[in-house]
Amino acid sequence: DGGITQSPKYLFRKEGQNVTLSCEQNLNHDAMYWYRQDPGQGLRLIYYSQIVNDFQKGDIAEGYSVSREKKESFPLTVTSAQKNPTAFYLCASMDGYTDTQYFGPGTRLTVL
């Protein structure tokens, strides 16, 4: 069954800690994206990767880092430099034939 998985669904972090959010897809898509969602602000792009071993900053990359060592995986690390990390994080991948993005179920990160 093809799709995008994100784990964990809920994540709690103490201030000053780095945490890594997982995103895996078995759709064979080249491009993957990370978005942050806050109430009333829609979705904002953090990082994206159009191909393995390459990625670009989005609109709000400060305090985040990513890697793209495998086509199917695009993990996001929220570092201690991110001042307000509590949010809902969504991963997406794009079908290059239809230019359409498909989303995972999301991870809710809460800083305690």
Q: Binder to other proteins among 46, 94, 109, 111 (CB under 8 A)? A: 94
Considering the complex, state which of residue 19 and residue 36 has its C-beta at the smaller distance from other proteins.
Answer: 36
**34-93 residues near other proteins, rule: CB under 8 A:** 40-45, 48, 50, 56, 58, 88, 90, 92
Give residue 55's Cα distance to chain centre. Answer: 12
CB of 30 to other proteins, least distance (A): 10
Q: How far apart are CA 12 and CA 17, in angstroms?
A: 10
| Contact indicator for 91, 3 with CB cutoff of 8 Å | no
Q: How far is the CB of 16 from other proteins (least distance, A)?
A: 27
C-beta separation of 108 from 10 below 8 A:
yes
C-alpha distances (whole Å) from 1 to each of 4, 26, 103 are 10, 8, 15
Total Cβ atoms within 10 A of residue 82: 22
Query: Considering beta carbons, is residue 11 or 45 the nearer one to other proteins?
Result: 45
Which residue from 11, 31, 52, 61 is in contact with other proteins, where contact means CB under 8 A?
A: 31
Footprint of other proteins on this chain (CB under 8 A)? 4, 6, 31, 33, 40-45, 48, 50, 56, 58, 88, 90, 92, 94, 98-106, 108
